[in-house]
Amino acid sequence: MNEVLIEEIVIYGTVFLICFITIFFYLRKKRVKSMVVEKKVAIAKEEGLYEPVSLHPYIDLNICIGSAACVADCPEKDILGIVNGKATVIQTSNCVGHGACFHACPVEAISLSIGTETRGVDLPHINQNFETNNKGIYIAGELGGMGLIKNSVEQGQQAIESIVKNKKPSKENVIDVVIIGAGPAGISASLAAKKYGLSSITLEQDSLGGTVYTFPRKKIVMTAPMDLPLYGKVKLFETSKDELLQLWKKVIAAHDLKIVENTKVEIIIPSENDTFKVMTNTDEEYICNNVLLSIGRRGSPRKLNVLGEDSEKVAYRLIESERIQNQNIIVVGGGDSAIESVLLLKDANKVTLSYRSDKFSRLKPKNRIKINEAIESKMVEVLLNSNLISINEKNVIINTAESEIPMEIENDLVYIFAGGELPTAFLQKAGVEISKRFNYIMKKH
């Protein structure tokens, strides 16, 4: 009997020891991983990458179970990590807001948020039907804070469905809805308008795709399938900008949508007869019963307001860089857009980067490494603490901190990346109320 008891004690003791060792090494491994993530968070804070600049994941720690599904499904690197069994943000500034983490979380502990507790974001007032306080003006997509392409597409369709439910009587020479912006929400709305028999026209200040059009060609812009009106299910995962733009073109051609590019809406004027007059920079005027705003939050590119900035050699985005060769180029700015443009142009051109600060901040790690390598190899000249003051036909004039005498640099092209101006004034002129929101959790309608 004693031998049996001893044998049981040995067995249970061995099992206990194995379990103890397994748990010990498991917990130690988790702790090591946590320490790695904690170190990354500290570096992100030091480099100014921890603070979000746009739509970003907000984690409810009371719900999070630390499954790490959000980390695994995010196609970007070091946006999320696990610390002490809970998810945490790391390089939040680099989040592009495509929402893969939002869809991956098994317990819905992640929401998409805009703004922080200390940095507010201007957002227009819209109700559950996407209508603003000014009846007849609707907003869908990024302007309302929802940058996720899949949700923008859904909102564009839902906004049109709201217009159909509240359809105003048709009038001669009056369009049912003018859609402003040909991004994901605008294209979806254009399709929905066609589906429900509404007369419509879509105006885009730049090119098809809106904000998406300005992204690098191979940038991942969508990570979840979506439903397009008149088209059906789009079963694309980790979709690049090129793939998405090709889809837009196919759908637009198939359904003969009327989209007018390079036409900026200057003002929306409510009329006494319950209609709106939409006036553009091309002197075209459109009378309509409803307006759907599906423009980006960046609005128009921010200008430097310097002499010669209206020259044809000045641009605020870089498209088809491979066609630009043997040019003397000035790039103004210090963010990722400016750095990525410099890196694309440097091999075939002489590129000078002018930045007003004394160091780069909020850069993606890969961009920081690549620009430093380009500087060290003398592939790029960088002028820190400098300001572009004049753009002339064959040169530019730049002030630098190192000299009291402005520099004159031979020049063919100028690219300015100074951010965008929020369309707040444009909205307010149309009678749309704007409020500053802090750490505002975006909700699907």
The pLDDT of residue 218 = 46
The pLDDT of residue 306 = 93
Domain check: are 110 and 179 in the same one?
A: no
Question: Of 114, 132, 160, which residue constitutes the final position of a domain?
Answer: 114
Question: For the chain, how many structural domains are there in total?
Answer: 3
Which of 42-56, 182-196, 236-250, 412-426: highest mean pLDDT?
A: 182-196
Answer whether residue 70 is part of any domain: yes
**Residue 151 confidence class, pLDDT cut points 50, 70, 90:** confident
Sequence-separated (6 or more) residues with CB below 8 Å from residue 259 = 182, 187, 190, 202, 203, 204, 208, 252
Residue 81: domain span = 2-114
Task: For residue range 3-17, list pLDDT tens digits in order.
Answer: 767 777 777 778 787
Give the domain CATH number at 360.
Answer: 3.50.50.60
Give alpha helix (H) positions in 149-220: 149-165, 184-195
The pLDDT of residue 222 = 46
Domain check: are 142 and 240 in the same one?
A: yes
Three-state DSSP class for 31?
helix
Domain check: are 74 and 160 in the same one?
A: no
Answer whether residue 309 is part of any domain: no
Domain check: are 205 and 270 in the same one?
A: yes
Mean pLDDT computed over 249-274? 86
Q: Which residue has the higher pLDDT, 34 or 313?
A: 313
Give alpha helix (H) positions in 47-115: 69-73, 100-104
Answer whether residue 157 is part of any domain: yes
The β-bridge relationship of strands 395-400 and 403-410 is antiparallel
Answer whether residue 306 is part of any domain: no
Element (H, E) at 268: strand 265-270
Domain check: are 260 and 145 in the same one?
A: yes
Please give the DSSP secondary-structure letter assigned to residue 211.
Answer: G
Domain check: are 371 and 426 in the same one?
A: no
The pLDDT of residue 225 = 62
Question: Of 54, 79, 114, which residue constitutes the final position of a domain?
Answer: 114
Task: For residue range 125-150, list pLDDT tens digits in order.
Answer: 888 888 999 999 999 887 766 556 77
Domain check: are 398 and 342 in the same one?
A: yes
Nearest to 56 by CA among 121, 109, 110: 110
Domain check: are 75 and 107 in the same one?
A: yes
Domain check: are 185 and 274 in the same one?
A: yes
Answer whether residue 253 is part of any domain: yes
Confidence check: pLDDT of 84 > 50: yes
Sequence-separated (6 or more) residues with CB below 8 Å from residue 418 = 301, 302, 303, 304, 332, 333
Mean pLDDT computed over 289-300? 83
The pLDDT of residue 217 = 46
Domain check: are 128 and 234 in the same one?
A: yes
Given a contact cutoff of 8 angstroms between Cβ atoms, the answer to whether 249 and 211 are in contact is no
Answer whether residue 307 is part of any domain: no
Element (H, E) at 403: strand 403-410
What is the distance, to the nearest Å, from the Cα of residue 265 to the centroid of all Cα atoms in its chain?
21
**Residue 159 confidence class, pLDDT cut points 50, 70, 90:** very high
Give the domain CATH number at 40.
Answer: 3.30.70.20
Answer whether residue 338 is part of any domain: yes
Mean pLDDT computed over 97-108? 80
The pTM assigned to this predicted structure is 0.65
The pLDDT of residue 397 = 94
How much of the chain, in percent, has pLDDT values that exceed 70?
A: 89
Domain check: are 162 and 294 in the same one?
A: yes
Domain check: are 356 and 432 in the same one?
A: no
Answer whether residue 351 is part of any domain: yes
Sequence-separated (6 or more) residues with CB below 8 Å from residue 237 = 223, 224, 225
Please name every residue paired with 315 in a beta bridge, in sequence order, or none if there are none. 415
Question: Of 114, 132, 157, which residue constitutes the final position of a domain?
Answer: 114
